[in-house]
Amino acid sequence: MTQSSGNTPGAGAAPDSDSIRSGLAVTVRLQVYDADNELVIESDGPITYLQGGGEIFPRLEGLLEGKHVGDTVSAYLEPADHFGDYDAELVYLEDRKLLPPDIEVGSQIERSDDDDPDAEPVLVTVTDIQGETVVLDGNHPFAGSALRFEVEVLAIEEPEVDADGAFDAIDDEDDLDAARRGGLQFRTLKRTLH
């Protein structure tokens, strides 16, 4: 079930120059709720993404298309529309000696694929420690869960591009680190919000 709400002028009309469309930088405020209506993610501040850039969930991106500054979108997304179903094959055992010494249940660790050195590291969560054996889970913490996304559109503008022509929504490494800590890195949403 998906709903959209807000003060969208001319709802149903063709998008105008002030509406969200592919190629524009969109700044939003975001809250995510679980099936029990508990707030599970809240952006520390505004988040900027490139509409049509594949940086957010396609279903959410589609619901934001044509919206204006000040509009809000409330979207109920099933697992297939965000982090996917829970995959038991992503849970595995690891020898504690191969992991950082300070790990504990709840720790998150970036793991590389030994078979593919070009693959991006994957974030895994320590879910149990029994002696020298550690249980690691590569599923996103919200995999298999229905979620409600509350999004408020704050700004719509032409994107800033770097010398290589790439869009740069997160301006510096401090912003990037803060986004990662908050669980809201729109650049790599396949692991966080995509």
* pLDDT digits 0-9 by tens, 83-120: 999 999 999 999 999 999 999 999 999 988 777 888 88
pTM as predicted = 0.68
Band of residue 165 on the pLDDT scale cut at 50, 70, 90: low
* pLDDT digits 0-9 by tens, 27-43: 999 999 999 999 999 98
What rounded mean pLDDT belongs to the chain? 80
Q: Does domain 88-137 have CATH number 3.30.70?
A: no
Cβ contact 44:35 at 8 Å: no
Quote the CA–CA distance of 183 and 167 in Å, as a whole number: 21
Mean pLDDT (whole number) for 139-158: 95
Distance, CA of 40 to chain centre: 12
Cβ contact 49:29 at 8 Å: no
CA proximity to 65, closest of 4, 150, 7:
4
Q: Could you state, in order of their start, the residue ranges of all structural domains in the chain? A: 25-83+142-188, 88-137
CA proximity to 96, closest of 49, 136, 64, 66:
136
Give rounded-to-5 percent helix, strand, coil for the chain: 15, 30, 55
Q: Which fold has domain 25-83+142-188?
A: Chitinase A; domain 3 (3.10.50)
